[in-house]
Amino acid sequence: MTRRPESTLERPELRPTDVTRAELEDLLYDEAFLLDEWRMEDWLALWEEDAQYVVPTNDNPHADPDNDLMYINHDYRLLKGLVVRLNSVHAHREYPWSKTRHIVTNVRVAGEDEDGVVHGDAAFMVWRFRNKDRDCFVGHYDVRARRTESGLRLVGKRVTLDAWTLAPYGAVSIVL
């Protein structure tokens, strides 16, 4: 079944896709669940090996990761490094582990590109509680996903933060 993109905002570079919003939601909800359960290896398994996880700085939301300073620009190798870190008792900012809650909503499927990668977006709120810290990250996901034998898998996630600066919390030490 071929459908129009769910977004009412046309993206001419994309063609219609048969991936439904529910499928993309399932992927994002699974991701949120695994992160909140701190099941980092299982979370990594949601990613394809050409992964790119990007967080631009608050002051440069349209950043070009090849030329600009980002908070995070991780390929699969670095995501693996991050998983090792977050499982370590030496990740002092996150050990003892924070409690987090990833809330993902406003999910839309925009279409797929010429390589068959599905593009979509969503809004998020991520709460982080640790000792006296109560941090809330709010923003927008741009997601790219690929249909594989084991289901829809993440290829890209770009996390744009709404706050003007990263304060009062001084770190993005969890996965958003």
Helix, strand, or coil (residue 92):
helix
> Identity (one letter) of the amino acid at 112?
E
> Which residues, at least 6 apart from 131, have a Cβ–Cβ distance to it below 8 Å?
none
Q: Which stretch binds another protein (CB under 8 A): 29-37, 44-52, 86-94, 114-122?
A: 86-94
DSSP state of 22: H
Cα 167 to its chain centre, rounded Å, is 20
Nearer to another protein, 1 or 92 (CB): 92
- Which residue carries 């631009």 as its tokens? 56
Least CB distance to another protein at residue 172 (A):
4
Asked if 66 interacts with another protein (CB under 8 A), we say: yes
Helix, strand, or coil (residue 2):
coil
Asked if 138 interacts with another protein (CB under 8 A), we say: no
Asked if 44 interacts with another protein (CB under 8 A), we say: no
Asked if 93 interacts with another protein (CB under 8 A), we say: yes
Interface residue with another protein, options 38, 73, 140, 153 (CB under 8 A): 73
